Chains A and B, each alone.
Chain A
Amino acid sequence: MAGDRHRIVGKPIRKVDGPSKCTGQTLFADDLSFPRMLWCKLLRSPHPHARIRSIDTSRARNHPGVVAVLTGRDLPIPFGILPVSQDEHALCLDRVRFVGDPVAAIAATDEEAAFEALRLIDVDYEPLDSILSIPDALDPARPPIHDYGDDGNIHKLVSLEFGDVEGGFAEAKEIIEGTYFYGGNTHLAMEQHAAVAVPEADGRIRLYSSTQTPHYSHRALAKVLEMPPAHIRVIAPPTGGGFGGKTDPFNHEIVVAKMALVTGRPVKICLTREEVFYCHRGRHPVLMGVRMGMKSDGSITALHFRTLLDGGGYGSYGVASTYYTGALQTVTYDVSNYKFESARLFTNKPPCGPKRGHGTPQPRFALEIHMDRAAERLGMDPAELRLAHLVPPGSLTANYLKVGSMGLGECIRKVVEGSRWKEKFRQLPHGRGVGLACGAYLSGAGLPIYWNNLPHTGVQLKLDRSGGVCVFCGETDVGQGSDSVLAQIVAEVLGIEPIDLRLVTSDTDLTPVDLGSYSSRVTLMMGNAAVQAAERARELLSSAVAGKLEIPPTRLVFADRHVFDAERPEIGMTFAEAVQTAEAKFGTIGTVGSYTPPPSAGRYRGAGVGPSPAYSYSAAVAEVDVDPDTGWVRVQKIWMAHDVGRSINPVLVMGQVEGGVYMGLGEALMEEQVFRANRNGVHKFPSMLEYKSPTTQEMCDVTTYLVEDPDPNGPFGAKEVGQGPLLPVPPAIANAVYDAVGVRIDEVPITPEKVLKALQAKDRRYGPADLPPVTWPPPLQVATPRQGGDGRAIGRAIGRASGGTTSTPAAEPARVDGRVTK
């Protein structure tokens, strides 16, 4: 079994924060309180799109208990997570862009007083025409929501071609087309966002926030508050679930910080559940058109993918999300020629952003159903079709993604065998079916959010003569277990136990920068930095101990809190004595480690999204019952195999797999953000009761297989697991529904009324019709590695604008440095 060579890595030991989370000791952001603390509430827009003519706060200021009131004029500097989309204000300046956009803030001596005073703020709005759908946003006659972007309400327009797609289609035996829609949904972390700002007597400020990315909040605070970053300290306490919903810097964080500076008192905000729905940044609704050319053996000669993203009112991570809907189609099955066109649109709804799988579950849903269709057309078993055309390990894809270890074949074989696929597929009685799908995800994005050439993470160790080790790292545990990964790696290298470590994490004053808990980057990147820091400490200790024992340092073993001679284990000393020996020789012992991902191979504009040091792979088989009378789908069981490279802690890896299956199940069957376009664009049900997330009664059985194919770039070979296992679940369920009752449901959520409609439809399908017309710019052309390309763009195709009659000039400068997110 993997991990046998190690004492701690690979072992299913307790999460380091397990006992404190099970006893109620863990303090989340809303659990903090400070003397003289004020409570903050935000007044939010009741209009989806309006100009603010004026705001009168005088009545609110006079309400008993109210200490301060802020409006947009107090915080006029814009911010946003991406440098290219600095389009948010902590409080709207002159325009509101969705129902729920914050316009004013009140701090009072208790929360109820602040809440009551909200109704005393008089805002004079001039309602504007609101844009609530993808077709609305594509209509050039409708007013633009922002004064930037690629055209009208098109926030971002992308057009890329790798190789010769028309040539690829000409070579194809079969051309398979499909249109798909992935409904928008939200994270619904159990913890509502909370933040507490504490002013310090010397003018500095401290912010505790339930964030996955304290570093990015830190940057936004410094910008908007116009304070030196060194005077702002952001601390992320343990976060009660994020799933991507706490990765943007948020208006409420900035507001409480400003309130604390204005009042000189600590200020807390804890959003209500309804407000969390307005923060959102969840899954983009994506409309997709897929055209795939295949030879009779199933090899993909050409793939043309079009995606339209309903982005909501602000940029958020949207530019990255847009590219992610096209980036990872190439890392599972070999694609010779690939064309990707995409547009992200502004609409008057809460902004979408990254949710578990960031931009990739939507195209993966389309691609995996498409593969199921292709297998049927070609008369092949869907598992065999996939196995025959896997991207080989160590290869470079058509869009210049470097694939390292690649365990998808093993994943497919595991779930096929475990589910008894061969006995079930197309053989179960009517109403029961099985479906197979796969997925792949990044182990961290190859490039940072803002352009820099600095490490993505750092780990610092302080070794104490008592034998304890203090580990400093900016990583943020959002429940995924990153604290445990850090502790297990350091303890493994130094031969001590996790309990001997004191972890100091996610504190911008005390810890080296880590970019945050997103893009499944932490285990790989922080893990590598931790290995480096710990190995450097071990070298110092080895050198001192070897000198004292008069043996070569290479013979020393670090294990069981001892440092000893591998050949004569009785010769050695305790770890504490080893530290003392080294401290006597070198002085105070501290080491650092850091990690920067390898450079990407792609050099074309847009190549910045998709590269990763390693890709994880997953395969799933779902078995479902479909009630032909009602259309009701019940998922009985999911078999999920995940190529994690190497488990640092298998029981935690399993927890991530099962959690990914759960969230995928919810997205597949019931979770959906719905807005009432004919009722002022309100969110139909911003509540935990009516936004349906699976309970114990809906969750299916799960059998998990961990495939361990160590990746050379991962610490101990480890790759990601937090996001990848979600991806195959929705398409596996859709494919199983087809196997059960013979209807294609080409959109999620797969609700019973859609299944029933499909059962009664002539084409036995439910899904979107064609994509609305978009004038795509000529694609940026890139020669594939197979064509001898070097990763740079050749140029824009001329006269190849597709899908419309007029040509939009290429909005982007001819920049080919591969850094789209700058």
Chain B
Amino acid sequence: MSSLSKLRVRLRVNGEEHEMLVPVEKTLLEVLREDMGLTGTKHGCELGECGACAVLVDGKPVLSCLALPVELEGHEIMTVEGLAAAGRMHPLQEAFADLGAAQCGYCTPGFLLAAKSLLEQSSDPTRDEIKDALAGNLCRCTGYIKIYEAVELAARRMRSGSETAPEQAVLYGR
């Protein structure tokens, strides 16, 4: 409304260039959701306290609620919408779906992107490494257990290149 200045920014999102005129104070979160229709990126606090709005910038997770588009020109931004390629879900998405790691699904995009960044650095992370890498994302539904198991399943499938089945105890309990 009372914007002091609008800026022309060029953002590269999910591999596509977007040029737009936005008020400088509009965060990446707002621009993705309100100007680009990429509502897959969620928000739970807009203050950096929950991790729901995480996106990847040059492969690393950052919070879109505390990032300005003007600061991101020339960088590669990826949102959850960019994770699937050519109509095929990313192995992390497959594993999250297989294990019910997305319950309400609201924190899921942030977790998926943080997990993608982890798996790019470590193809076989330990449980503790997964907990550390996902420590910036809150989930209120799952207790994180199915999320850890999904990251482990996706890592296993990515390493073997095959559709490894989850363990029985993960699916049925004991």
Contact = CB atoms under 8 A, between A and B. Distances in A.
B102 A190 contact: no
A693 B171 CA distance: 26
Contacts of B125: none
Contact of B1 (A112, A660, A689, A699): A112
Nearest to A638: B143
A18 B112 CA distance: 13
Given A22-B97, A112-B2, A273-B44, A191 B104 contact: yes
Contact of A480 (B40, B83, B103, B139): B103
Nearest to B93: A22
A658 B145 CA distance: 7
Interface residues of B, number: 61
B167 to A, nearest CB: 11
Given A15-B97, A659-B143, A662-B143, A116 B47 contact: no
A651 B170 contact: yes
A31 B38 CA distance: 9
Nearest to A114: B1
Given A22-B94, A241-B103, 15 more contacts: A19-B89, A24-B80, A112-B1, A113-B1, A192-B44, A241-B141, A243-B140, A481-B103, A651-B171, A654-B170, A655-B101, A662-B140, A662-B144, A689-B47, A696-B135
A238 interface: yes
A719 to B, nearest CB: 15
Contact of B139 (A12, A19, A190): A190
A189 B141 CA distance: 8
A696 B134 contact: yes
Please list the 3 inter-chain residue pairs (A to B) with the smallest Cβ-Cβ separation, ordered nearest first: A24-B40, A479-B104, A21-B105
B42 interface: yes
A23 B93 contact: yes
A238 B84 CA distance: 21
Interface string A9-27: 0001011011111111111
A290 interface: no
Contact of A651 (B47, B100, B138): B100
A662 B93 contact: no
Contacts of B22: none
B118 to A, nearest CB: 12
A582 interface: no
Interface in B5-63: 33-34, 38-47, 49-50, 52
Nearest to A115: B1
A663 interface: yes
A468 interface: no
A478 interface: yes
Interface string A33-45: 1000000000000
Contacts of B39: 24, 27-28, 31
By secondary structure, the B interface counts as loop
Nearest to A65: B1
Contacts of B38: 24
Given A655-B103, A658-B142, A687-B49, A706 B44 contact: no
A678 interface: no
Nearest to A241: B104
A25 B39 CA distance: 8
A659 B144 CA distance: 8
A140 B73 CA distance: 65
B114 to A, nearest CB: 10
A60 interface: no
Contacts of A659: 103, 140-143
A704 interface: yes
Interface in A458-499: 478-481
Interface string A660-704: 111101000000000000000000000111000101110100111
Contacts of A17: 105
Interface string A342-366: 0000000000000000000000000
B103 A479 contact: yes
B65 to A, nearest CB: 11
Nearest to B33: A31
